[in-house]
Amino acid sequence: MTVLQQVELTVNGVSYEREVDPRMTLVDFLRHELRLTGTHVGCEHGVCGACTIIKDGQAVRSCLMLAAQADGTSLQTVEGLRNAESGELHPIQQAFIEEHGLQCGFCTPGFLMSTLELLGDNPNPTDQEIKDALDGNLCRCTGYQAIIQSVRLAAAKTQSGKLAGAHGSA
Amino acid sequence: MLLSVHIELWGFPMKPAPFDYYAPETVDEAVSLLKKLEDDDIDAKILAGGQSLMPMLSLRMARPDALVDLGKIKTLDYIREENGVIHIGAMTTKRAAEDSALLQQKQPLLHVATQHIGHRQIRNQGTVGGSFAHADPAAEYGAVAQALGMEMVVVGPDGERVIPVDEFYLSFLTTDIDCSEVLTEVRAPVMPGGTGWGFQEICRREGDLAIAGVAVTLKMEAGSCVDVVIAVFGVNAIAARLDDAEQVVNGNTPGEALFAQAGKAAAAALDEPITDVHATAEYRRSLIATLVKRCLTEAVSRAA
Ligand SMILES: Cc1cc2nc3c(=O)[nH]c(=O)nc-3n(C[C@H](O)[C@H](O)[C@H](O)COP(=O)(O)OP(=O)(O)OC[C@H]3O[C@@H](n4cnc5c(N)ncnc54)[C@H](O)[C@@H]3O)c2cc1C
Ligand code: FES
Ligand code: FES
């Protein structure tokens, strides 16, 4: 009989405590235990990036971790992007809509989360830096050009948002 | 009854086969646990970042009875310099190595090789130790370890062992680390001043495992190349230095013709290269010839 594993973690600011089968992957935990189905599963072995989430500030593939390994971590998934109070979409989401950075949308949660890490580290990336940050995410629809344009626009939006914020608080 | 079984299968899919899970908090605890599991004839595997092991578990290419997760051991996460040697804790993430100013300044070859490993999302979670222990033939670190003469430190029931790179890699995905041992640290010498170095690889998509790659170090003395080291990866079960190609360059004046000749010597010196879905043995040979040439040119341009 498998011994269940105690897991305590935070997802999008909400604390959870669960007992899991040690062999449950983190992405299955998010989708099936927490019912956060925004994170997608594509290849389930680390190749496509659809399952990308943020763990303690860094983008990781949630299919390549056990839920048990996430004990004590703070996670962010695509559900955590939109503003919880106003319901407003995140500037990255807004940019992907405006620049048509998606078609079927299957890969999109992964691209959004990889972009979130990129713009957190580097608010004004060059095209090469955008490509480097996204080379682990596959998209079978868009041909990538619109995605790169979306990230460019997202950078501009977050930059101007920050400037406006700084201005307002000054 | 049937319905509940059905719901359980749909509700809680499990890709890996069942295993017992342990998360020791110290190296000593991990070693005693591994020893006990070994004595009890239980097939145990160490889990570090999981970036190579998780796909193998999910595809059920690996079905260990027990996993020993090193993630709770906090003492194996460091990069420091002591007496001209850089020590990297096995559980340091590749992202931390990539972000390390110390590594970038003092051991740029190891630093650049780290940047070539996988995608950022893989480097955020995958560890330096995991890459050495996994011993993938296409791992950048294999060639860098050969080129720099790195050492690996393992701790087992009988204490610590320091393994030189020549004795560390045994075969395809196989190292000298024993079942009850933990790799705790890897060591690389600080790059001596004036050393020129080159690193090149070819892969289908940036971040994928390389089809073939080369690492070079050399020095310039009175206009000639000396101390030339050429190591290749991705072509055979383990990365290797190519003495024949090194000898072509050693003591000679750098130049395109010489480097092309070294490339040819390197390609000829390879044992029968791997043929797989990515490339044939012949294609790999021709890549090595080209990459050796490019790496030598790069190294000479960096040498002081
Ligand atoms: C999409 C993708 C692309 C990749 N591209 C590359 C690439 O270009 N180059 C490359 O080199 N790698 C690549 N990898 C592999 C990646 O670098 C892994 O992170 C690495 O090989 C293993 O490190 P880990 O910490 O994740 O170890 P794990 O996956 O946890 O472990 C790997 C193996 O090493 C053993 N092990 C781990 N740590 C220790 C230890 N301290 N002591 C003893 N045994 C240990 C484990 O038992 C296991 O057998 C890629 C992986 C993916 C998914
Ligand atoms: S589902 Fe995780 S990388 Fe494809
Ligand atoms: S939008 Fe369909 S896979 Fe990317």
Closest-CA distance of chain A to residue B96, Å: 11
User: B82 has which bridge partners?
Assistant: B85
CATH fold for domain B74-189: 3.30.465
pLDDT reading at A169 higher than 70: no
Mean pLDDT of B155-164: 98
Query: What's the pLDDT tens digit per position in A102-120?
Result: 999 999 999 999 999 999 9
CB contact under 8 Å between B47 and A49, yes or no, is no
Distance from residue B51's CA to the centre of ligand 1 (Å): 5
CATH of B197-303, one of 3.20.20.140, 3.40.50.300, 3.40.640.10, 3.30.390.50: 3.30.390.50
Helix A145-169 with A91-98: angle, nearest 10 deg: 140
Identify which of A98, A97, A94, A159 has the alpha carbon closest to the alpha carbon of residue A124: A159
Could you tell me the residue ranges of all domains in chain B? 2-69, 74-189, 197-303
Instruction: Give the mean pLDDT of chain A.
Output: 94
ipTM over 0.90: yes
Closest-CA distance of chain B to residue A58, Å: 6
Instruction: Say what the pLDDT of residue B8 is.
Output: 47
Instruction: Say what the pLDDT of residue A161 is.
Output: 73
> Residue B150: CB within 6 Å of ligand 1?
no
Architecture of the domain spanning B2-69:
2-Layer Sandwich (3.30)
Query: What's the pLDDT tens digit per position in A67-76?
Result: 999 999 999 9
Instruction: Give the nearest partner residue to A22 out of B19, B121, B125, using CB atoms.
Output: B19
- At residue B204 the predicted structure's pLDDT band, cuts being 50, 70 and 90, is confident
Class of domain A5-80: alpha beta
- At residue B113 the predicted structure's pLDDT band, cuts being 50, 70 and 90, is very high
Rounded-to-5 percentages of helix, strand, coil across chain B: 40, 25, 35
**This prediction's pTM:** 0.95
CB contact under 8 Å between A136 and B69, yes or no, is no
Pocket test for ligand 3, best of A41, A106, A144, A150 (most atoms within 8 A of CB): A106
Closest-CA distance of chain B to residue A22, Å: 6
Mean pLDDT of B200-208: 90
Residue of A nearest to B96 (CA): A58
CATH fold for domain A91-163: DNA polymerase; domain 1 (1.10.150)
Mean pLDDT of B218-223: 97
